[in-house]
Amino acid sequence: MAIATVHHWPDPLAGLREMRRVARRVVVFTFDPAGLREFWLTRDYLPTFLRRLHGKVLAEMMGPLGDGLEFRPVPVPHDCADGFYGAFWRRPRAYLDQRVRDGISVFRLLPEDEVATAVARLRADLDSGAWERRYAGVLERDELDLGFRVVVADYAA
């Protein structure tokens, strides 16, 4: 089992191949880059992260696990208590908090100046009401599919 970690491995292909070699069943909680590309925070505030996702396809990323993979969507509830990247999709002010950002690896991977610019733009949009106007539909949702997936590879059969 791997939970929100594969994208941090130095050699994800080798790690996934090893999981396949030693396990009868592999379960990976990860993200579909296509979903994160559409997330308002990525798309509208973090262009470097958006560029890093370009061309990446979840099925290809999980290729070392073999054929017959099951991809299960994991919608994120509006009140998600975990602190991962998409957890605050309906509570955008949380992203202004340095302690929250410190717990999200995306913010550690990006250039500091870009993060500072993104936070300043988000703060300005929240203070002016522009964010609420732009994302009114998001505020009405109880959960949102941001591309997080549980990938299951079952070799026991």
Q: In the beta sheet, which residues pair with residue 70? A: 152
Residues in the chain, pLDDT under 50: none
> How much is the pLDDT for 47?
87
Domain ranges of the chain: 2-154
In CATH terms, the fold of domain 2-154 is: Rossmann fold (3.40.50)
> How much is the pLDDT for 157?
62
Tell me if 95 sits within 8 A of 88, measured CB to CB: yes
Q: Which of 109, 98, 103 shows the shortest CA–CA distance to 87?
A: 103
